[in-house]
Structure 1
Amino acid sequence: MTPDELAEALDRVDYLPDPGLATAAFLALRTRRPLFCEGEPGTGKTSLAVALARALDLPLIRLQCHEGIDAAQALYDWDFPRQLLHLRALEAAGPVDADAAEASLYARRFLLARPLLRALEEAPCVLLVDEVDRADDEFEAFLLEVLDENAVTIPELGRVAAATPPLVVLTSNRTREVHDALKRRCLYHWLEHPDLAREVAVLRRRLPGVDERLATQVAEAVRRLRELDLVKPPGVAESLDWAAALLALGRTELDAESAALTLGAVLKYREDTRRALSAGVLAG
């Protein structure tokens, strides 16, 4: 497979990458290195991992990062209620050796596999580590170790290693800087908002009922909104929501009235709505 062939495969599942992104994804696939995708919200980072899984016919496993996430939430945990029921069943059956009972509590059937362990066990797959910038430094260090070895050790069961490393896509909205140690482990790509032609193509591909005129009007209006100093500039997802809202209302063009009625589909903060209306960017 070449970068162009991967781009065509992504196109077939309705993801339209630019040449740089297609090349970065191809290199991640060929070199078996994680791909670190950074950019503003709504530029298609998460959608890339979903599209890669579909295009390559691989399962998608998603780890959603958040403040306070720890290794147990990402890797594995023990099913304590089932272990307790098992222990009670042993006690009810009669005298039991304490060491044997303890050992039986840590059988594989009581292990709850979280996304990272599932990815190692189910590879080949696409592992999406979404919004890694929301996690803390300690979790980054843990993640780096797992990605370096493509293996983990469970004290009670032993080492679990991926026969084939998963295709890992990490995303960041750059709410904070991710440490260089993690970035060095990965291939890096910064995702920009699509240019006008590509955004129009995305709208028409994802919403077949949108004609070229309406798609162009929505894409142009969204581009003008992105030039304002907004709390949350709209991404492609908001462009799609806006066009879908106009379709649902039976509108065939984006005029000032239609824009005002449907602005909640594209802007999510009151301050942004006021700024857009006062700037007059929706009238053109």
Structure 2
Amino acid sequence: MKPGSFVLYEPSSVEQAAVMLADVAEHDGRIIAGGQTLVPAMAMRFAQPAYLIDINSIAALKRLVIERDQLVIGACVRHAAFHEPVTDGPLGHLLSTVVRHIAHLPIRNRGTFCGSIANADPASEWCLVSVALDATLVAQSVSGIREISASSFFLGFMTTALNPDELLVSANLPLLETDTRFGFHEVSRRAGDFAQAMALAVFRLDGPTLRNVRIALGGVETVPKRLAAVEELLEGQAFDSGLLERAAQIASEAVEPVDTTGEDIRYRRRLVRTVVIRAVKAALANTASE
């Protein structure tokens, strides 16, 4: 099939894009940057927006810079930008580790970090990262700029706190302390497929003691989320295998999988145990310089 007819706008500034979006937001106007979800949906007539606002010509949205201890990722920064670490230290290595799990190379060459956030697929690796690291998501409209914490940004399956007339202009990730360790593990049916479950573990070690623990899970519920009960169990504790087993069990019991049958729910809970254990073990094996 082919997409239906639409009007294409090509703004040259964020302000101009915001004005255009305000004009067409009530008429199913859409922002497009990478288009790796929207374009296939349009081709199949699952989505038929009357207006598209192509933001690829806006230089300000291609920024990938460090400002005030944050990595600022503009709305037009492609996944492929993270194939190599974009900053020294753990954050750069974390992003370059996670990006390898996103779909396939052609999609990573075109799709964008912020586009993935705005699309809010629960199986999105970048959505998981943003929640785990307490990212700040910056939206702009004709009314001004609004900052939204990642913890309150994702409202449900492909549903966010963005207003119809707001453009997501950047995702700001806090830099990590140099001794931060991280581990990521994802299970999917085939390489490049959507994740069935994935976990990101981030913490520091004070001798054998776990500090500043963050454990986040994606691909299981309608939104990615931090596992507060698991973090509380691990925080300030000396690591041992029994502790990790208890943490994984708590994680599996704390989730409400999207599956509808008992067998599928049990399988998904077992996946949660697996990805949490493997993410934590990967973090323990990792060093800030790797």
Q: TM-score, normalised by structure 2?
A: 0.29
Larger Rg: 1
Higher RCO (C-alpha under 8 Å, 6+ residues apart):
1
- Counting strand residues as a fraction of each chain, which structure ranks higher? 2
